[in-house]
Structure 1
Amino acid sequence: MTYRTWLTALALVLAAHPSAAGATANPGPSSGVSSVEWKSCPAYSDEVIRSLGVTEERVPAFRTLMKRLECGTVSVPLNHRDPGGRKIDIAVTRLAATDEAHRFGATAVLPGGPGNSGYLDPILRAALRNEEMAKLNERYDIIGFDPRGVGYSTKVACPITPGGPEEPGTLTEEAARKIYDTQVAANQKCGGTDPAFLGQLTTESVAKDLDLVRTALGERTLNLLGFSWGTYLGMVYRSLFPEHTGRAFLDSTAPPWTRLDKHMKDSAEAAERNFGRMAAWLARRDETYGLGATAPRVLDEVAKLVRAYDKSPKIYTDVRRPIDGAAVADLAKRNSTEWVRAGRALAELRTATGTTAPPTVKELLGAPMMGTPVPGAPEMLNMTMNLAVACNEDGSRAGLDAAWRDYQQLVKRHPATGRSWGVGVMCAGWPLPVQQATLKRGSGSLVLAGHLYEFMSVYDWTLQTRRAIGGTVYTVADDVHVSTTRVPECAADVVRYFETGRIGRGCAGGGIPS
């Protein structure tokens, strides 16, 4: 992952009886608190629906669910310490339980990012995901929302100009300094566009917004289904509002701290470990890929490719991205759902000639990271929100010397994948003060789902979070970020947990090809 893609990547009470997890007589909102201002839901073309990842044959089902979806906004204070001051709107959706007579309560879906939209998550992450997840909507209202700064909620845009080496090839200290200087200038410009708003883009502020959404919906408690950054949001919400938190299932658990330098270090170590699994898989198929008959030989071959393409990058006429060592390392960092294609692309690069990219290289590396939005499509990722939350909470904000030293160590220690990370200066020069939430141990029902081999949310972070705040670890034996609800066998465990409060030790997950 280059620095540019690193910036982009950065997107409970009682368990014995289901009614204790948030069943409510649906009381009205408290006096003086905003209610939901319900309105018509957006209309989407088939092209937009497909752009959301919905297959052609499921477009009619999506439209049917949109007819059931309720859409509205809740007014909240921009600064929760100044409830009488400036107000912003939080966009909210609800997919009411289909079995209202046996309704357990409401489950809020907490999106990833920071900066991802959750507005359509009741459909995309629950009702339409698979038959198992659809069962969650039988006895639970599913609540979606766009966090402040995202999508249909109040937001602000500032120019995002991530730094990056102008020339492909070996990343030098001089190029790193240019990256750093460019990022400092961009961050200072962004942070000055609307500091009153940007300074309130924190996980704690989003958690407080969510509690006002809960009140506006008339729910005594919210159950939480969190993904990636949404798991940290779930931790913060549970710490602030334990009395309002029902059951919580957090998938691909974040660490209980917010330091981007440590985040990158841990992730890089996990990525190289997982490449060891990929190397062993490729070695068993040496007749197909020709990268070596043992895992060490595959590692040596890929490390050699990284060095060779850094020394002599290739510019193909049909691929926007220069193919240098960072691009090779990016292929080595793919999870097991992509080992077949990544292995084929690595094999192609060993013998590539000509001015156009080999087919699999073009397939995996040819598309731009952020595609052109389809007209009328909802915003699914807001990079201003991503940057502001990450940097408002970053306890490191590494300077150039530390970031360059860390990068050099990554490349040395992780010869297959380390080159993909770039220098970690995402928050260099961010002008707003550091704000970090305080996590608290709770006694309510909490499941922390950790994936044994993934690098985006390192498995050890799940164990660290359990030590910090409690909960039960649910182990997914794969390397695929937030895959739990996508795999029917695992999704069945998730739904069973929300229905009964009981959870097993884990599931196999998905990803590893035969």
Structure 2
Amino acid sequence: MPKSFRARAAALTASALLLPALLAGCGEDGDPGQDLPDQKLSWRDCPAPSEAQGGGPSPSPLPGGGRWQCATMKAPLDWDDPEGDTIDLELIRARSSGPADRRIGSLIFNFGGPGGSGVTTLPAFGEDYERLRTRYDLVSFDPRGVGRSAPVLCLNDRQMDAHFQQDATPDDDAERAELLESTKSFNEACADRSERILPHVRTTDTARDLDLMRQVLGDDKLYYFGISYGTELGGVYAHLFPEKVGRAVFDAVVDPTQDPEQGSLGQARGFQRALGNYAENCVSQTEECPVGDTAEDVKDRIAALLKDLDSKPIPGIPPRELTQTEALNGIAQALYSQEFWEFLTDGLEQAYEGDGTILMALSDSMTGRGENGEYSNFVPANVAINCADDTPRYTAEDVERSLPRFRAASELFGDYLAWGLITCTDWAVPGAAEHPDVSAPGASPILVIGNTGDPATPYEGTRRMVRALGEGVGVELTYKGQGHGAYDSGNECVRNAVHGYLLDGKVPPAGTVCT
């Protein structure tokens, strides 16, 4: 997902503005390592997720008794030195449910972030992909730096609580100094605890891991389903290995042409648009909207709540209080899916009565905090990957100059996203480029799906991805809906297009529109 809200405080993430780029000397298609492709994976029952993966129980069997299996793949720590040290990358799969003679190969998923654990996410959504499992093994992985794959670690859980309770939209010099110092402390902690992995978590590194994975899984081509940031990873892979692209779907598309500031500004517009859509929906219901009489009233009351929280937090999940920043996180999380709008309404109604429990729970979901107070490593990984990918290093003065444009884009989210630009200031590793190269001449058709109501990866980036991939590669499909992504909305038109392409090789007409 661009540098999206999903991780703020240390980075705006969850979705997609991450703009990486190619490492020098890594642009050619080629053998990623002399002996590594010959390794044989040892599949086993999956253990319970680690703290870095988010915790919880082992994945439940799929409908019909299909079970999840996990394995560990070796990959070079440094792809510029493929014969040097290695790291372990964690994989998960569910075997194809169809006849062996109908199996196409392994369909590899990346769900975005960057920083999300595919090993925990794929089982959570496994039933949604049952149709695809009729001809594919469903496979996902923890990218390098994530979950069980050489995870990036920074602050401890207690420090993370304090980090997310800080004021991320400073109003005066003292608050600005506090935010800058907090960001510096976070970044220094990452360097202290994760020095070995930080230089090697660029998207180009993960794209090379992806090609190694393709080989180890025994596929001649990569079959791929990328969501949010996963579309950027897929685009970088297609650039590096165009001849190895099989059938690929990009859903909730990252704009590959923008630098981090442009991406964050687009996201400000996207979340403001999604908030307006939520407000219109609430007041159009048969029953009275409990959080406002008109759409403008809904937005005004939310703005007033946030202003009050800036100076006077309210009780949240004990012993923590709901701050302005955490309320913004919670609102943003709810805008990721129309299914969450009812929780946003409940949370706002509750907060107006002085209780921040629901909004804080939504915020915790955004930042990877479990009910036991332990954090996954989503935020540290998100920051590390973004900062390794992105060249720009913004200063507080840069933010101050940009604030008028961000506020014009979004009264509610503008300051928050503008100040998120300082995330990579003083990061220990230089960034690779202003934006990724996804040009992929000669690659097979890639289905590129954009959702007109997507807050985190605004729809405008879909066509830019199609153009950047090159003539005859990107095939655009538009879904006129709400939320982040299209396939998981359940829209029959979108699903039929994806199934026809991935299962039967039928490329839908470019410009197809689903409503």
Instruction: Report the TM-score range of the alignment, normalised by the length of the smaller protein.
Output: 0.7 to 0.9
In 2, the alpha carbon distance for the partners of 1:115 and 1:358 equals 27
The one of 390, 396, 400 equivalent to 1:400 is 396
User: Which secondary structure does the structure 1 equivalent of 2:307 belong to?
Assistant: helix
**1:228 Cα deviation after fit:** 1.4
Matched to 1:503, the amino acid is P
In 2, the alpha carbon distance for the partners of 1:478 and 1:408 equals 30
Change (3 A) 1:244 1:275: same
Change (3 A) 1:134 1:492: farther
Equivalent in the alignment of 2:279: 279
| Number of equivalent positions | 472
The one of 490, 500, 503 equivalent to 1:499 is 503
In 2, the alpha carbon distance for the partners of 1:390 and 1:427 equals 8
Change (3 A) 1:298 1:473: same
Matched to 1:423, the amino acid is W
1:426 aligns with 2:420: no
**1:400 Cα deviation after fit:** 1.1
Equivalent in the alignment of 1:42: 46
Equivalent in the alignment of 1:153: 149
Could you tell me whether the CA contact under 8 Å between 1:113 and 1:228 is conserved in 2? yes
Could you tell me whether the CA contact under 8 Å between 2:253 and 2:448 is conserved in 1? yes
**5 Å matches for 1:111-126?**
111-119=111-119, 123-125=123-125
CA offset digits 1:182-229 (Å, max 9, x no partner):
212432442354544210111100111111121222211111101111
Deviates more, 1:471-480 or 1:251-260: 251-260
In 2, the alpha carbon distance for the partners of 1:304 and 1:374 equals 32
**1:151 Cα deviation after fit:** 2.6
Matched to 2:134, the amino acid is E
Matched to 1:495, the amino acid is H
**5 Å matches for 1:90-109?**
90-97=89-96, 98-109=98-109
For structure 2, list consecutive stretches of 5 or more residues without a partner in the other structure: 15-32
Equivalent in the alignment of 1:247: 247
CA offset digits 1:304-353 (Å, max 9, x no partner):
4443443x524327555544554565565442323334234434555x36
User: Which secondary structure does the structure 1 equivalent of 2:171 belong to?
Assistant: coil
1:370 aligns with 2:333: no
Matched to 2:44, the amino acid is S
CA offset digits 1:20-76 (Å, max 9, x no partner):
xxxxxxxxx98773323314233449xx9994797xxxx45479322xx44322222
CA offset digits 1:268-309 (Å, max 9, x no partner):
111112222223223335962365544334434433444344
Matched to 2:151, the amino acid is K
Equivalent in the alignment of 2:340: 338
User: Which secondary structure does the structure 1 equivalent of 2:485 belong to?
Assistant: coil
Deviates more, 1:399-408 or 1:442-451: 399-408
Could you tell me whether the CA contact under 8 Å between 2:62 and 2:127 is conserved in 1? no
User: Which secondary structure does the structure 2 equivalent of 1:199 belong to?
Assistant: helix
1:140 aligns with 2:136: yes
User: Which secondary structure does the structure 2 equivalent of 1:383 belong to?
Assistant: helix
**1:480 Cα deviation after fit:** 1.5
User: Which secondary structure does the structure 2 equivalent of 1:289 belong to?
Assistant: coil
**5 Å matches for 1:305-324?**
305-310=305-310, 312-316=311-315, 322-323=321-322
Change (3 A) 1:428 1:280: same
Equivalent in the alignment of 1:18: none
Equivalent in the alignment of 1:511: none
In 2, the alpha carbon distance for the partners of 1:50 and 1:192 equals 24
Matched to 1:482, the amino acid is G
The one of 355, 379, 385 equivalent to 1:383 is 379
In 2, the alpha carbon distance for the partners of 1:194 and 1:359 equals 33
1:222 aligns with 2:222: yes
**1:369 Cα deviation after fit:** 4.3
In 2, the alpha carbon distance for the partners of 1:10 and 1:2 equals 5
Overall identity of the aligned pairs, in %: 23
User: Which secondary structure does the structure 2 equivalent of 1:237 belong to?
Assistant: helix
1:237 aligns with 2:240: no
In 2, the alpha carbon distance for the partners of 1:80 and 1:168 equals 36
CA RMSD of aligned residues (A): 3.7
User: Which secondary structure does the structure 2 equivalent of 1:467 belong to?
Assistant: helix
In 2, the alpha carbon distance for the partners of 1:409 and 1:214 equals 43
Matched to 2:390, the amino acid is D
Higher Rg = 1
In 1, the alpha carbon distance for the partners of 2:258 and 2:339 equals 29
Change (3 A) 1:121 1:136: farther
Matched to 1:496, the amino acid is G
Deviates more, 1:210-219 or 1:325-334: 325-334
Equivalent in the alignment of 2:463: 463
User: Which secondary structure does the structure 2 equivalent of 1:475 belong to?
Assistant: strand
